[in-house]
Amino acid sequence: MAAYGGCDPASGFWMHLEFYALAERKSGFLNRIHEDLYNNKESILRRRVIPIIQAIIVFIIGFSVLYSGDNVGLSDNGDFRRVLLTNNIEYADDTDHYYLFKQDYVMDLGDADGMFSAMIAAWQQNEEEDIYSSPHFLIIKLSKELNVIANAINGRPLSDYNIVYMAILYLFMLSVAAWVIFTFFADARIRIQMAVFILFIFIFCDAGYLLYFNSFYGEPLQYTALMMLIAFGMLIYKRPSLPKAFGFFVSLYFFAGAKLANVPYSLVLALFAVLIMIMRKDKLFKAGVLAAAAVCIIGIVGLYNSIPDWMNRDTTYQAVFFGMLKESDDPAADLRELGVNEEYAVLANTHAYMDEDEYPIDINSDEFEHGFFDIVSKVDIAAFYLRHPVRLIKELNVAIENSAYIRPPSLGNSTDVPMEITDKFSGWSKLRVALRFLYEPWVVFAAFIVITLYMLFMNIFYIHNHKIESPQRKYMICALDILILGLWINLLLPIMSNGEADIAKHMFLFTNCIDILFFVCLIGIVSASIRKIILITVSMSAFTGLFYIHLPNRRMEFGRINGEPIVWEIVESYNDGSMLLMTEDCIGYMPFDNDSNEWETSDLRRWLNGGFLEEFTTQERARIMETTNEIILTYDERENAVAGDHSHYWNYTRSLVADLSKTAYHNYLKDMVYIPTLDMLENINVPDNYWILCPYTSNGYMERFMNDDGFILHTDVKNEKGVRAVIRYME
């Protein structure tokens, strides 16, 4: 005790040393606790708080795209009708609804006189219509309920329907998917996290995608369900559980039902998704995944069986006559190969939505029913293309070229100006058009073949080495298989199931999958070293630049405007010594006309052949030859046609814009000066927006114009566009 009490100096020293060591151990323990708490707070911030904030930003940006400033959405191309009828909704004002975005509608609530009875009525569906089953209708019904509640709160008529509430539902779904994706990358390097967030906003919140949210099309549900599928797939990859697997299969069912053309891909996806079982070894999990997959497959098959007969008939008709036989060298032989009467060859190049008097035979007759629809199926069409791969590749080229725009440029998105295209948050829409390799057929085919061969090699390798590979690696390979398979299916399916009819709209899912693949590639690039990022960026820029290289046309000066000489491109030289000239730049900007797209009576034609020539000398005017041009007519002007038996079908690609124009309703006019014709468009440069000599034939007040991105769009004749004059010049 004496020694311990401090009488022994040595004992006292060791006692103090032990006390100091104990204090140090306690201090270190406390420091580690402090450090762990700090790291835990940082982890919670990165894994929980920041992804939520980012998802909220996605919602805010999406809402701003649609509703900041002028409200924007998509106009009806005719597809709204069956959805509106089925869900007891009609336009509040149906004026020009084919070309203008409409936000306000009216619900048929029957005799409902209060909020609760109105909510019950809003959930009802019109059973008298020839409808099909679709989870799309569930979203519409939920939006109707939100409208009823909002109307009751704000004192508006309970039957008012504002499409904003449906857009909010889609924005919520997209934001939830974004939150999961951001959370998945929360443990990655800051550079990757920021790249994922910025690229998601830039690509997947682009107006090209979000404008669909303000519409009754199936694409917005398809888009958000696909993003939810990706999100649940990521959740399962990190921590597999039955609720997440159930969520995946529910999303898959919604994806399949959003557009019934998705059913084949969805069935394949459901079969692949059974491999979720490998993520855990317990039998309950495996049994739950199998049960969920079985229920999902049964539901998808039910969706397919609900497809109304008229829809299957229309798509089959178009797949044959406006796809397989379109510009066929021998349509009669093609029909014989299908086992169909060759007399129906006269229907080649027609589609299912023409007026009855435009068909050379009655396609609604019992004879045609038994002679065509009872014989031909989608399987027969697919088999035909497999026997004729060159024809298939040609049609796939058409499909790829029509995938340039995220949304079809035939759908207006303004509430005031028909066919106006918004510039709000459209950076990716414009960039993906500028990156021409994304829709250049030979590039897409080459990339698909390389990626497919690589994935085949990876699958063979991992199957051979399955014992040493982790479930996560197998799961990731399976996910990439699904993406690549989806690209092929969604490239082939639109052509085989519906031909070239409305092809730009039917390529939406393909475009979406391309963007997802591009997003994944960009994240991979960001993950590389700075040196590799610079090298890849420079290479990609150089490759894109190759598509903009062209040999300039010869030029000459001739005539004057506003006191300045006019520079002309020599487009073509003829054997008689004459030359086809077109002004190098736009010589002005003006409306086509005040109210009509008839070239013969247009203000633009009157000015070109009058005021434009005022500064030309008499000798210069004498060198301009009178030219006879083929003038395409609208459907309403078909009685004035000297030739042709159908309207000119719309296509916005330069390589296809002149398709079937020679057999469209047309007459002939002579002009000294005119504007670019369809047969010139494939070979001329595109420095500006300018009118071309072709009306939008579905109405009498829209004219087509060359957009500055190289595609041919249409707009109201009252809008101002550039003018590039064309003449035939004789030396």
Q: What is the pLDDT of residues 521-535, one digit of tens each?
A: 899 888 888 888 888
Domain boundary among the residues 549, 579, 600 is at: 549
Q: Are residues 577 and 513 in the same domain?
A: no
Residues 202-257 have pLDDT tens digits of: 999 999 999 999 999 999 999 999 999 999 999 998 889 999 999 999 999 999 99
| Residue 318 placed within a domain | no
| pLDDT for the residue 45 | 65
Q: 715 lies in a domain?
A: yes
Structure confidence at residue 37 (pLDDT): 46
- Shared domain for 23 and 50, answered yes or no, is yes
Strands (E), 504-642: 555-561, 564-573, 578-583, 589-590, 624-625, 627-632
Count up the domains in the chain and report the number: 3
From CA 593, how far away is CA 717, in angstroms rounded? 5
How far is the CA of 337 from the CAs of 92, 343, 493, in angstroms? 50, 13, 21
Q: How far apart are CA 631 and CA 600, in angstroms?
A: 9
Q: 669 and 717 share a domain?
A: yes
Q: Quick one: 579 and 539 in the same domain?
A: no
Residue 170 lies in a domain: no
Quote the CA–CA distance of 123 and 110 in Å, as a whole number: 12
Tokens, residue 477: 């390979």
691: β partners: 705
| Structure token pair of residue 271 | 């079969």
Q: Is residue 599 located within the same domain as residue 524?
A: no
Residue 225 lies in a domain: no
**Is the same domain home to 447 and 524?**
yes
Query: Between the ranges 6-15, 452-461, 462-471, 708-717, where is the mean pLDDT highest?
Result: 708-717
Task: Give me the sheet containing 555-561, strands edge to edge.
Answer: 555-561, 564-573, 578-583, 726-730, 624-625
When the pLDDT of each residue in the chain is averaged and rounded to a whole number, the result is: 88
Asked if residue 412 lies in contact with residue 75, where contact means CB atoms within 8 angstroms, the answer is: yes
- Of all residues in the chain, what percent carry a pLDDT higher than 90? 60
**Is 658 in the same domain as 705?**
yes
Helix axes 471-498, 263-273, angle to 10 degrees: 170
Give the tens place of pLDDT for each residue, 269-317. 998 888 888 888 889 999 999 999 999 999 999 988 888 888 889 999 9
> Looking at the structure, do residues 561 and 531 belong to the same domain, yes or no?
no
On whether residue 415 sits in a domain, the answer given is: no
CB atoms within 10 A of CB 155: 6
Residue linked to tokens 């998808």: 300
Count the neighbouring beta carbons within 10 Å of the beta carbon of residue 241: 14
612 and 706 part of one domain: yes
Strand order in the sheet with 89-91: 89-91, 104-107, 160-162
Instruction: Give the pLDDT confidence of 61-106 residue by residue, as tens digits.
Output: 999 999 998 899 999 988 898 899 989 999 998 887 888 899 999 9
* Cβ-proximal residues to 678 (8 Å cutoff; 6+ apart), any chain: 632, 657, 658, 661, 692, 693, 694
* pLDDT surpassing 70 at residue 435: yes
Q: Is 381 a member of any domain?
A: no
pLDDT tens, position by position, 348-367: 999 888 888 888 899 989 99
* Domain finish residue from 549, 574, 595: 549
Assigned domain for 299 exists: no
The answer to whether 325 and 334 are in contact (CB under 8 A) is yes
Contact by Cβ (8 Å): 338, 352: no
Residue 666 lies in a domain: yes
Q: What is the pLDDT of residue 516?
A: 93
Same domain? 589 vs 621: yes
Residues 563 and 598 in one domain: yes
Pick the last residue of a domain from 549, 572, 588: 549
pLDDT per residue as tens digits for the range 481-526: 888 888 999 999 999 999 998 899 999 999 999 999 999 989 988 8
Whole-number pLDDT of residue 587: 94
**pLDDT reported for residue 476:** 83
Percent of all residues in the chain with a pLDDT value above 70, rounded to a whole number: 92
Whole-prediction pTM value? Answer: 0.88
Contacts 24+ apart (CB under 8 A), 657-662: 657/681, 657/682, 657/694, 657/712, 658/682, 659/326, 659/327, 660/326, 660/327, 660/349, 661/630, 661/632, 661/694, 662/630
* 523 shares its domain with 575: no
In the sheet with 721-722, reading across from the earlier edge strand, the strands are: 589-590, 721-722, 690-695, 702-706, 712-716
Task: Determine the structural domain holding residue 713 and report its residue range.
Answer: 555-730
